[in-house]
């Protein structure tokens, strides 16, 4: 039986308007809806008076203008970046130019896997370099808030979740979303890291998540457990495909993602490839022609 994931896609937004979502937390959503961003990038505002911006969003002047106008009587003191995809970090440059607020993040795109020496990747913001590099366990202090940093690689190698510990609130970026699973695309995306990051998050006692896309998550541990089951189910389907002789990613996508629109199969192939790499790491699968998305694979 297929894993039932308790998705919540009941989420409407008014682009360009700041909304209160909880005490000390506001959100303004960029008008960049897509099959990968849902209704758009939700930029969070933490605190009051002197505030932090979490994931300022895409390079979209109207979104930056809406943030600045909505906070014209307040001071932006920090700009926090969960990771460096083009729908999350590019607006940090424009915000910093106006406010002078320093940026915080794990590091530039690919910095969680320095051996790769990534110089470009589709969807990656290769221009972002944080003023302050955070590590797992780093704490960032504001006027009336503080957040601790959790390095959660997987979706990207430099992915950070921000935890407002006093309120047991987590800003999980794209690591955990309530409307969809996360894409894990090699080489920077890593399924093994992603699964280990889920293990890390499910062991915590956070009460509520505010992901960058979609609505809040009220039962995060329940959702994470479903994601873990779902990924393990994908692994089993891949092994079944290989048993039937479907030995390439292209062949496997048709079966494993038969319930997904063909328009998304290219992205699905990247995620499936990430799972195959993970199976090779676990010594359950062998790469006949090397680890390549166009390669051939067999069960060990």
**Residues 104 and 78 sit within 8 Å (Cβ to Cβ):** yes
Q: CATH number for the domain including 253?
A: 1.10.10.10
Question: Does residue 268 fall inside a structural domain?
Answer: yes
Residue 154 lies in a domain: no
> Percent of the chain beyond pLDDT 90?
91
C-beta of residue 227 within 8 angstroms of C-beta of residue 181: yes
Residue 281 lies inside a defined structural domain of this protein: yes
Q: What is the pLDDT of residue 267?
A: 86
pLDDT band at 45 (very low <50, low <70, confident <90, very high): very high
Among residues 60, 96, 57, the alpha carbon closest in space to that of 76 is found at 96
Alpha carbon distance 235, 100 (integer Å): 47
Helix axis angle, 220-243 to 191-202, nearest 10°: 150
Name the band, by pLDDT with cuts 50, 70 and 90, for residue 1: low
| Exposure of 243 in the CB half-sphere (CA atoms within 13 A) | 7
Is residue 26 assigned to a domain?
Answer: no
> Cβ–Cβ contacts within 10 Å for residue 163, how many?
21
Contact (CB, 8 A) for 156 and 112? yes
| Residue 56: other Cβ atoms inside 10 A | 30
> Using the 8-state DSSP alphabet, how is residue 124 labeled?
B
Q: Which residues pair with 19 in a beta bridge?
A: 27
What is the pLDDT of the chain when averaged over all its residues?
96
Location of structure tokens 């930056």: 64
| Token pair belonging to 68 | 């600045």
Based on DSSP, count helices (H) and strands (E) in the chain, helices before strands: 6, 14
pLDDT digits (tens, 9 = 90+) for 65-99: 999 999 999 999 999 999 999 999 999 999 999 99
- pLDDT for residue 226: 97
205 belongs to a structural domain: no
Give which of 204, 294, 206, 227 is closest to 4, Cα–Cα. Answer: 227
Structural domain including 257 reads 228-299
Contact between 249 and 26 (Cβ < 8 Å): no
Residue 234 and residue 238: Cα distance in Å, rounded? Answer: 6
175 within some domain = no
How many domains does the structure of the chain reveal? 1
Rg, the chain, Cα only: 19
Could you report the per-residue pLDDT of 225-266, keeping only the tens digit for each? 999 999 999 999 999 999 999 999 999 998 898 877 788 888
């Amino acid at each position: 039986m297929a894993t039932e994931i308790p998705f919540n896609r009941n989420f409407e937004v008014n682009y360009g308007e700041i909304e209160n979502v909880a005490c000390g937390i506001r959100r303004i959503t960029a008008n960049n809806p897509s099959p990968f961003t849902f209704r758009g990038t939700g930029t969070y505002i933490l605190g009051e008076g002197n505030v932090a911006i979490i994931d300022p969003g895409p390079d979209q002047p109207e979104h930056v203008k809406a943030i600045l106008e909505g906070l014209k009587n307040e001071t932006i003191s920090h700009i926090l970046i969960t990771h460096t995809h083009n729908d999350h970090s590019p607006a940090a440059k424009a915000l910093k130019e106006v406010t002078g607020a320093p940026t915080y993040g794990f590091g530039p795109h690919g910095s969680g896997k320095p051996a790769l020496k990534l110089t470009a990747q589709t969807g990656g913001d290769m221009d972002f370099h944080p003023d302050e590099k955070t590590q797992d366990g780093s704490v960032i202090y504001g006027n009336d808030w503080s957040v601790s940093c959790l390095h959660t690689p997987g979706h990207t190698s430099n992915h950070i979740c921000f935890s407002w510990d006093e309120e047991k609130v987590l800003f999980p970026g794209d690591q955990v979303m309530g409307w969809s699973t996360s894409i894990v695309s090699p080489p920077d995306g890593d399924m093994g890291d992603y699964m280990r990051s889920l293990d890390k998050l499910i062991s915590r006692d956070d009460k509520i998540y505010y992901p960058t896309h979609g609505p809040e998550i009220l039962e995060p541990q329940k959702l994470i457990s479903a994601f873990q089951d779902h990924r393990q189910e994908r692994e089993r389907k891949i092994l079944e495909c290989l048993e039937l002789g479907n030995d390439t990613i292209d062949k496997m996508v048709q079966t494993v993602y038969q319930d997904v629109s063909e328009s998304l199969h290219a992205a699905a192939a990247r995620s499936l490839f990430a799972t195959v790499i993970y199976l090779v790491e676990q010594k359950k699968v062998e790469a006949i022609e090397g680890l390549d998305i166009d390669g051939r694979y067999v069960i060990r």
